Amino acid sequence: MGEHASPGPGKRRKAGKPESRLAMVRRARRINRELAEVYPYAHPELDFENPFQLLIATVLSAQTTDLRVNQTTPALFAAYPTPEDLAAAVPEKVEELIRPTGFFRAKTKSIMGLSKALRDDFGGEVPGTLKDLVSLPGVGRKTAFVVLGNAFGVPGITVDTHFQRLVRRWKWTDQEDPVKIEAEIATIFPKSEWTMLSHRVIFHGRRICHARRPACGACPITHLCPSYGEGETDPEKARKLLKYELGGQPGQRLKPPADYPGKPAPALGAPG
């Protein structure tokens, strides 16, 4: 963590004195700015070379890790590089290739179904609008915004489990429905920030602000967090909880961006 380590939690609001909307927005935007300093290399953690690969990888990422998807998709994309190829595949062969990602029968149905829709309705090209993307089998708003933001440069807020957890811990919203969370967060930040905000929050959730044991004592934004103390506050113990490059471990991508400070993840079957 080094230069990004926080000196510790700052002044807390007095009990019984609610935070104003303006104060919350200012605090939220400051968190975003400080996370940008901690994670200047924040990026989508799925390997992809084109919009089709990102779409398929994102659908496969449900209920599993990006690492497992990244270890699985090279063989899938080698066998079926285009929507037309995947649409015409034998389902049992696809199931076997994506088995490591879990729920492989349902996922096969989704990725083959969306490939057929791309072939039949969109000329074999991934569409670049929210309306068209969510019309595809197995594609919801979260998946659509991942594709729009990272393949087409269209701003979007990706409300995954990490994002939901952190924005509630930070008291940016008390909503539980992802669509309502998305709508509320969209009022706090300018549209130009939505995609990178999503990456930064998700990075922080995976590396420091974990679901079960947040590493509060190693967190760089404790002075801005109203939930400080939910996790381990001892700095030494907290540092041992850090994951991925902050803990000296490989990230989730086999082919990370050039500015990623951690090690590439191992291929499927390779020693970690």
Q: Where are the alpha helices (DSSP H) in 122-253?
A: 130-133, 141-151, 161-169, 178-186, 194-207, 235-239
Is 93 marked active-site? no
Options 66, 85, 142, 174, the catalytic residue: 142
Smallest Cα–Cα separation from 42: which of 207, 156, 266?
Answer: 207
The 3-class SS string of 27-83 reads HHHHHHHHHHHHCCCCCCCCCCCCHHHHHHHHHHCCCCCHHHHHHHHHHHHHHCCCH
Options 47, 66, 107, 160, the catalytic residue: 160
Is 14 marked active-site? no
CB 181 within 8 A of CB 198: no
CB 199 within 8 A of CB 44: yes
What residues are annotated to the active site? 142, 160
